[in-house]
Chain A
Amino acid sequence: MRYSGLRVIAEALTGHKGWKPVWRDPAPQAAYDYVIVGGGGHGLATAYYLAKEFKQARIAVLEKGYLGGGNVGRNTTIIRSNYLLDGNEPFYEFSLKLWEGLEQDFNYNAMVSQRGIINLIHTDAQRDAFTRRGNAMILNGADAEMVSRDQLRAMYPFLNFDNARFPIKGALMQRRGGTVRHDAVAWGYARGADMRGVDLIQNCEVTGMRIENGRILGVETTRGFIGAKKVGVAVAGSSSRVMAHAGMRLPIESHVLQAFVSEGLKPLIDGVMTFGAGHFYVSQSDKGGLVFGGDIDGYNSYAQRGNLPVIEDVAEGGMALMPMIGRARLLRMWGGIMDMSMDGSPIIDRTSVDGLYFNGGWCYGGFKATPASGWCFAHLLATDQPHPTATAYRFDRFLKGLMIDEKGQGAQPNLH
């Protein structure tokens, strides 16, 4: 079923009785060519591009809960490609270009809104660093511009420009950055994959992997054994737990990151704003709620909920940046589990087991990467070669000293 304006009008005139479930609910078959573990944004995107771009068949996505019930439904919906390093920037720019054509591509309204993202500057040194980053972005085909204090004042007059500790001196801006309706991304990819014959199997948790002579034969699940020629794991947050079934230890720790939504307010912030020095970022949803967050809690966690000290820290950051936020009530807050990798960058690679592939380590930047992550993982699964924009995301970069460490923090996951 394709969506169109005509279709909406026709359904309106006939009592909306023609809408069907958007995807099937099939039982697992005995074997597939490709099994993708994880029915979140990245897993569904992988299945979608495997079927659509790489023309592969007999694909299944296994999800332990319901589709899109993990981190793709728990993030703060920001898209951007404002990275510095060569290993990252081409990949994230590829992702942003895919976002720009996504809704036409999968015929689903994902509310892609390129409302611009700004990173605030407080010192001369920070201006130098952001200028360098902006130049790196432009060299890789992305857009970037420096915004002066006066320009910024015209855009956001309510900011606390003369904060004693972090006076605002300007910003780095990427106009093509913005926000996307996150659930619709999962639904759009799921529908697109289902239309191309992918079996989306829910309530199906992987409980083991059958490996013989260094080759994967399939996965044990709560719905029985499912054979597969190739298995791709895309379960960021739970990567260590799933890959332990194959006897692997990963360069990853799981951490909790909290996010917050205020009550609905009138239009106030039309873009995305990051206040890195104050551990705070904010945007406003179309419903009017301020969507904001800050740092990870900083200790290993699988709890999907954080603790009060970080909530206080985030609230302080908000008050420092825009004191009027103190008048808004907090509506809800939640936590998501991040794969924090040892250099702050992801992994899309083969493993030591033939036929077993891994996609994870997205830290708290996985949502914006969803289309390119799916495309590059599908490329790796279908061709056994890394996609040209994802060649640096290898497991052995830690052994070879080829880390992609944007912040230069070293092997300390809670600092990335």
Chain B
Amino acid sequence: MIIPHPILGPRDAQEFVYLGDASLIDRPDGMTAGIEVFHDYLYNRDNPAGLHRELWYHEQGDRSWLVVTRDTVTHEIVSAELARDVARARGRSK
């Protein structure tokens, strides 16, 4: 698989480490959210067959985190964004 890195251009997926569903960006506040909410965040996944937004870390590259949109049925990669931009757009400070 080739990941279209928004800064570096097309890069082999082997340069990246896979983390999982991009919803991991939306970590609830562990002090206020409560056990059930944090349990759901940590352990449960949508795990869709089809388009999946997921976190990849460019470990053997510029060490940026990307949000890659990929089809889990065909392995086709639709887009890649900097996770930093995605998080900011969701109102996170960094």
Contact = CB atoms under 8 A, between A and B. Distances in A.
Interface stretch (B38-46, B59-67, B82-90): B38-46
A254 B20 contact: no
B73 A303 contact: yes
Contacts of A4: none
Interface string A239-256: 011000000011111100
A251 B35 CA distance: 15
Contacts of B44: 249-251
Interface in B22-77: 35-36, 39-40, 42-49, 52, 54, 70, 72-75
A301 B45 contact: no
A300 B52 contact: yes
A342 B45 CA distance: 10
A413 interface: yes
A301 B74 CA distance: 8
Contact of A303 (B19, B36, B48, B74): B74
Interface residues of A, number: 24
Contacts of A240: 45-48
A291 B14 CA distance: 25
A224 B39 CA distance: 37
At the interface, is chain B mostly helix, strand, loop or mixed? mixed
Nearest to A309: B14
B45 A399 contact: no
B1 interface: yes
Contacts of B40: 249
Nearest to B40: A249
A345 to B, nearest CB: 13
B47 A250 contact: yes
A254 B75 CA distance: 13
Interface in A258-306: 298-303
At the interface, is chain A mostly helix, strand, loop or mixed? mixed
Contact of A398 (B14, B20, B43): B43
A75 B23 CA distance: 32
Given A253-B20, A307-B1, A399-B35, A302 B43 contact: no
Nearest to A305: B75
Interface residues of B, number: 26
A414 interface: yes
A411 B24 CA distance: 12
A399 B20 contact: no
A249 B14 contact: no
Nearest to B46: A249
A252 B72 contact: no
Contacts of A241: 47, 49
A312 to B, nearest CB: 9
Contacts of B21: 253, 300
Contacts of A399: 35-36, 39
B77 to A, nearest CB: 11
B57 to A, nearest CB: 12
Contacts of B74: 303
A309 B72 CA distance: 17
A399 B70 CA distance: 30
A275 to B, nearest CB: 22
22 contacts: A238-B49, A240-B47, A240-B48, A241-B47, A249-B40, A249-B47, A250-B44, A250-B47, A252-B47, A253-B21, A253-B45, A254-B47, A254-B72, A299-B54, A300-B21, A303-B73, A307-B13, A309-B14, A398-B42, A399-B35, A411-B43, A414-B20
Nearest 6 pairs of A and B residues by beta carbon: A240-B47, A251-B43, A249-B44, A302-B49, A398-B43, A299-B18
Given A240-B48, A399-B39, A412-B20, 19 more contacts: A241-B47, A250-B44, A250-B47, A252-B47, A253-B21, A253-B47, A254-B72, A298-B18, A299-B18, A300-B52, A302-B72, A302-B73, A303-B74, A307-B13, A307-B75, A342-B43, A398-B39, A411-B43, A412-B19
Interface of A: 238, 240-241, 249-254, 298-303, 307, 309, 342, 398-399, 411-414
Interface of B: 1, 13-14, 18-21, 35-36, 39-40, 42-49, 52, 54, 70, 72-75
